[in-house]
Amino acid sequence: MERTNGSTDNLVILAYSGGLDTSCILVWLIEQGYEVIAFLADIGQEENFDAARTKALKLGAKKVIVEDVKKDFVESYIWPWLQSSALYEGRYMLGTSLARPCISAKLVEIAIAENASYFAHGATGKGNDQVRFELCCYALHPKLKVIAPWRQKEFYSRFRGRQDLMAYAAERGIPVPVSPKQPWSMDANLMHISYEAGVLEDPAQPPPPDLCQMTVNPENAPDKPDRLTISFRNGIPVAVVAEDTNVTYTGSLELFQFLNQIGGQHGIGRIDVVENRFIGMKSRGVYETPGATILFLAHQDLELLTMDREVRYLKQQLAEQFVRMIYNGFWYSPESRYVQECIAASQKSVCGWVKVNLYKGHVQILARHSDVPIYNKDLVSMDVQGNYEPADADGFIKINALRLKESARAGTGHR
């Protein structure tokens, strides 16, 4: 395609972070003849957005757009995830995976408003984010075209790794925050920080002791625990009360930020995992997710108190599907919309409060309460018979034992 200045045919919305990759990509796109609008999503990362704006404009960006999407990230992405109780491969809380559809939605909105033909990103050709960004953007704006430099031969032949990028940055006068002494990659947002690459690529080596930024080492956490009461309505947190200060946090963003802060003080939410990327390779990552870890455990506890057993079993099966949709980039797919609606419907009974103790990397559940009457103290009591006839269990056990006896008779039972 012929690219001429002043035409939207050569206008690109770049998902820009101000880091090494996207700063170099911004300059490289301009060298290829594109006009670039740099888009920064304020999704809760520690970032000097004024400095990033100044830097992008100095590097040649036509315009820089910064959008605050923190509250939307919490309410439209983290809360549905929390209701689902979805963990990727039983451990990862999907902080990066959830941020990508949030960023993509705003990027598409800007592309439409600016009449841009392209969007570009700095995701590598080996990772998950390239898939997430592109599937989300295509679902929301099918005519938008992608520029993925790390999949273009002329780009990855020239830049074979971070050292080549740093050399290019030095040649072009691009200031970057990454030095050869700290070559790992970091992705931060309101929900978590993830670390990968560099020294972390060897899974046999422990992560550097100074790696984590959201949480203290649990060994150095306070000797005195903090106690919180977290209230939920329809599976969504609506209030957090700090017992020591008797301060109540109610706004979605306010309470989530508070939980990050206090959870970080107690070293909560650190994991070091090897996971299976969607593209088909394994990777090692270190994650710290303090506030979401507290909420996940409290929500899970309240679900067990308030949800019907079979409804929860079905919801867990849906969550197994949902977690792959989130991780693999299918947030805006028809199946994801359907599953989210089903999971939200399951949460109508998940109302009440959970009291937790935070101490040296651990979240201890102390107590829970709900006005939903599914828990019957008299029925379960060892001291009160309640509305239950113990003799009925005799037939229940015999019926359930029938097929086991038949398997034994046929010789197909357990040996």
21 noted as active-site residue: yes
Q: What is the DSSP string of 326-378?
A: HHHT-TTSHHHHHHHHHHHHHTTT--EEEEEEEETTEEEEEEEE-SSTT--HH
Residues shown for the chain: 415
Cross-strand partners of 376: none
Q: Which of 199, 197, 200, 194 is nearest to 212 (CA)?
A: 194
Instruction: Please report which helix (H) or strand (E) contains residue 187, including its range.
Output: strand 185-188
**Catalytic, out of 23, 117, 129, 336:** 129
Paired tokens of 300:
């899970």
272 noted as active-site residue: no
CA 115/CA 352 separation, integer angstroms = 47
Integer CA distances (angstroms), 137 to 6, 108, 109, 110, 240, in order: 24, 6, 10, 12, 35
**Catalytic, out of 17, 21, 231, 252:** 21
Q: Which amino acid is at 95?
A: G
CA 399/CA 388 separation, integer angstroms = 18
**Catalytic, out of 23, 53, 100, 231:** 100
129 noted as active-site residue: yes
**Catalytic, out of 185, 194, 346, 349:** 185
Assess contact for 246 and 266: CB atoms under 8 A: no
337 noted as active-site residue: no
Residues acting as catalytic residues: 21, 100, 129, 185
